A and B are shown apart, each in its own frame.
Chain A
């Protein structure tokens, strides 16, 4: 008698697949980049150049502009900007939940990932413009 409803309940159970793998993938890749590259960047721009160990000329506007205007330079810059950004906003989105801010999770998601998306597209267009100039 009791078995029937239970089996029905089990069969009726609906599983909804989360889209999180997409954001988790970007989060992971961005985190990896940030973890490896931030210390190097801090070392170069914060210590080695001010101390004169590396010639500041290597990071002059013209040199960097040239780098950003090459296709491989543009690709590297896009990855360096976009991935850590997706990482950061994913983290912020989950931190809002951790802080117990339950209201408007949908909007929080749209704003967080929307921002990362918008800036990624912006950087992409900017670099594309420089490339095709």
Chain B
């Protein structure tokens, strides 16, 4: 049994897969350039593990972000053959025997190799007031918690699954064209709070939604929802917010604030 397993393992190890990484080290490279590596192929090896193999055995200078290795921390986003993916959730077996090209997430400035500058994305997440704004501030702890039925939770649960990986910003052609767009994840997060029965901050957040840079920069391409590794469906969140914004517009016509 065990010898058989070792043989099978051996046969697999003999195969190699080619990985090309877009390198960029700002202190020495004028512009990004591709560098090829060949590593032993395992069907159960993730892209992140492949990068770790390269860093441990071939070139210790390759930079990339990671932490949880299980699609929870959202730090390992990168372009795999030009499609935004989580390195820990994409596997070599889906590409072998073809070459795999890895690049930093599109639409973000490159900090170094596969590491991008996420500042604009984080700023947008903060701007939409991503916290519950209760009806009245002074509810005392002794009065207990804010309660919610399963139906009330269902209304926003899906939009609360975001891990802030930024894949949707990388996929969004509108964000690519105009960085002032609030963008998919931030708007999905905004919808998550506006749809929460414990929250009373909708009016404040609708001001962000109603802007050109709010939901109205979106042309419903839908690629954000395709690449999202957590099934958040930001495109649907934005469409729902467009309907809300239209209602808000009508109300605003009769009752300007």
Contacts and interface: CB of A to CB of B under 8 A. Distances in A.
Contacts of A18: 210-212, 214, 216
Of the four ranges (under 10, 10 to 19, 20 to 34, 35 or more), the interface on chain B belongs to 10 to 19
Contacts of B249: 17, 21-22
Contacts of A100: 177
A17 B211 contact: yes
B130 interface: no
B212 A20 contact: yes
A16 B242 CA distance: 16
A132 to B, nearest CB: 32
Consensus secondary structure, chain A interface: helix
Contacts, number: 34
Contacts of B177: 97-98, 100
Interface string A89-115: 000001001101000000000000000
B173 A25 contact: no
B24 to A, nearest CB: 25
A24 B246 contact: yes
A100 B252 CA distance: 32
Nearest to B208: A15
Contact of B207 (A15, A24, A25, A94): A15
A18 B217 CA distance: 10
Contacts of A25: 246
B245 interface: yes
Contacts of B9: none
A20 B219 contact: no
Given A15-B210, A16-B211, A17-B249, A24 B173 contact: no
Interface string B226-257: 00000000000000001001100110100000
Nearest to A20: B216
Interface in B179-217: 207-208, 210-212, 214, 216
Contacts of A24: 216, 242, 246
Nearest to A10: B127
B217 to A, nearest CB: 9
Interface of B: 173, 177, 207-208, 210-212, 214, 216, 219, 242, 245-246, 249-250, 252
28 contacts: A15-B207, A15-B208, A15-B210, A15-B211, A16-B211, A17-B207, A17-B210, A17-B211, A17-B252, A18-B210, A18-B211, A18-B212, A18-B214, A20-B212, A20-B216, A21-B242, A21-B245, A21-B246, A21-B250, A22-B249, A24-B216, A24-B242, A25-B246, A94-B219, A97-B177, A98-B173, A98-B177, A100-B177
Interface of A: 15-18, 20-22, 24-25, 94, 97-98, 100
